[in-house]
Chain A
Amino acid sequence: MNAIALIDGNNFYASCEQSINPCLRNKPLVILSNNDGCIIARSPEARTLRIRMGEPYFKIKKRLNKLGVIVLSSNYSLYGDMSKRLMNLLKKHCEKIEIYSIDEAFISIHRPHNKDLSPWARKLRTLVYQNLGLTITIGIAENKLRAKLANKLAKSINYSAGIFDLEIANNKDSYLKKINIDNIWGIGTQTSKWLRSKGIKNARELKDMNQHELKKKLGVVGQRIQLELKGYQCLPIEDKKNQKKEIRVSRSFSQPITKLEDLKQALAIYTIRASEKMRAQNLKASVVTIFARTSHYSNSNYQKSAYRKLIEATNNTNIILKIVIELSKEIYHPDYKLAKAGVLMQDLSDYNYFQKSIINYPSEDKSERETKLIQTIDYLNNKFKNEVITWGIAKKKQSWSMNRKLLSGTSITNIKRIPTIII
């Protein structure tokens, strides 16, 4: 029999910073989102000070200062590289892996004769700590949903051990009872409200609820959740590489944007990045969507998006840039202060299988030359880093780019910014 484990990094962003900088260890530390907006990660010491996730930084800046909490801007290149290392390590120690987010993965492992997998998990946990300085939590069960619950139980029952095997536990129902309905994977706010109105408060009650009533209200999704709670395997581990449905690049601005020129420039920079990402994964988009919106804190709300279907799937920056710049006029409004914008590359297809359209067939020679040009740009940018070559629009002065005042600046991928030790 195969078991499924959900593995995630504890306080992942904070732990990445602490791993390569020992003076941050055992201290209250919080990490801020883009533009130093709000708190997105906390060390355990910061948790015990009752600093909440999602709290806007400007609101609690004084309090953090008084409590002596260390505050850092998010260093995504560090977290991204640590994540890659973590996933690669896990891959070496399991049969199948589905990377679920930057710090979470489902893996499938063989379970011989209903054996307790805790010893295996303990070994893996030690290995990850030894190799990366990161602490992980491992929840093990029969399927993905129960593995998620087991992971939650591992954190709540015995935080320091960080391991829970739900499948071999005695009296499983008593554990399911400990999980609130809102903490079940796939149950949203609306659904949990409805369930509560029916007197269903925890995972055990949902498991034993009348299945017809559940199916009538929530359809097959609700039915699937209940089946997985009962221990059936409904969702497979999706280890195929090309499971991305869209590539999204969006960011908040440090200063609100009111000029069309600035919006165009921001969207152009995101487009350059998104196209690069597509090429790195051998993907092409058939739909390009852009959006812009005002701040959630602002009184006058505005949000608009626009999209274009492409006749032929592409990842050519030149082609997509033209479209995005045209579309940007459609979402711009001079009366609103825009706080965020983004581009989405959708309806992605694998490069190797893509078909050329019969209409609008570009001359073979031109498209081949363009491909080579863009390959060369990717090659140079990869080799020399920091976008040695880019499109003109990206290089004009930016008044809106991301704020990261508290960035530690340490990198494990850029030789100029690697950690320095005084010996």
Chain B
Amino acid sequence: MKKVGLPLISFSVSAGFPSPADDYTEENIDLNEYLIQNPFSTFFIRVKGDSMINSGIQDQDLIIVDKSLIAKPGDIVIAIIDERFTVKRLEKKDDIFYLKAENRNYPDLYLKNYSNMQIWGVVIYSIHNCR
């Protein structure tokens, strides 16, 4: 009986000359491996809105968030304000932390104006569909 090769799993090579590239093949590029250092604490989130447009994060982009990182001034972070997530840049001026939008139409957000503000995670990448 003729053996049926299933290319997705098995690597039964059909007859013919062996490829000269066989010995040089490498694994495919794995974006997970490239983009994610801490898989156990990394989450994917979709964003809506234009408040971070100047940082390159646009409406409908996918952002990758690492919760294990400690946020530093200059980081783009996911914060919880009034029980809602938001994405802003963490800034520090005269020893006071605040959250800054990357769009002039949005105000800076100061901790003192909210009963509860918390950093949830640090944005490490944003993925934008270019088409």
List residues of A whose CB falls within 8 A of some B CB.
20, 22-23, 25, 85, 88-89, 127, 130-133, 365, 369, 372-373, 375-376, 379-380, 412, 415, 418-423
Contacts and interface: CB of A to CB of B under 8 A. Distances in A.
B4 interface: yes
Interface string B69-87: 0100000001010011111
Nearest to A375: B9
B17 interface: no
Given A365-B3, A423-B52, 12 more contacts: A20-B43, A22-B80, A22-B83, A88-B40, A130-B70, A376-B8, A379-B9, A380-B8, A418-B62, A420-B48, A421-B48, A421-B87
Complex A-B, nearest 8 residue pairs according to Cβ-Cβ distance, in ascending order: A131-B41, A423-B49, A423-B87, A85-B40, A421-B85, A22-B80, A420-B46, A23-B83
Nearest to A365: B1
Interface residues of B, number: 34
Contact of A131 (B47, B68, B85): B68
A130 B67 contact: yes
A322 to B, nearest CB: 23
20 contacts: A23-B83, A25-B83, A89-B41, A130-B41, A131-B38, A131-B40, A131-B68, A132-B40, A132-B67, A365-B1, A375-B6, A376-B6, A380-B8, A418-B45, A419-B46, A421-B78, A422-B48, A423-B51, A423-B57, A423-B86
A383 B4 CA distance: 22
Interface residue SS majority, chain A? helix
Nearest to B88: A423
A294 to B, nearest CB: 42
Contacts of B38: 131
B88 to A, nearest CB: 8
A349 B51 CA distance: 56
B67 A133 contact: yes
B44 interface: yes
Most buried by B among A85, A418, A423: A423
Interface of B: 1, 3-4, 6, 8-10, 38, 40-41, 43-52, 57, 62, 67-68, 70, 78, 80, 83-88, 120
A133 B46 contact: no
B120 A419 contact: no
Nearest to B87: A423
B77 to A, nearest CB: 11
Given A23-B84, A130-B67, A423-B47, A372 B41 contact: no
Contacts of B62: 415, 418
B30 to A, nearest CB: 14
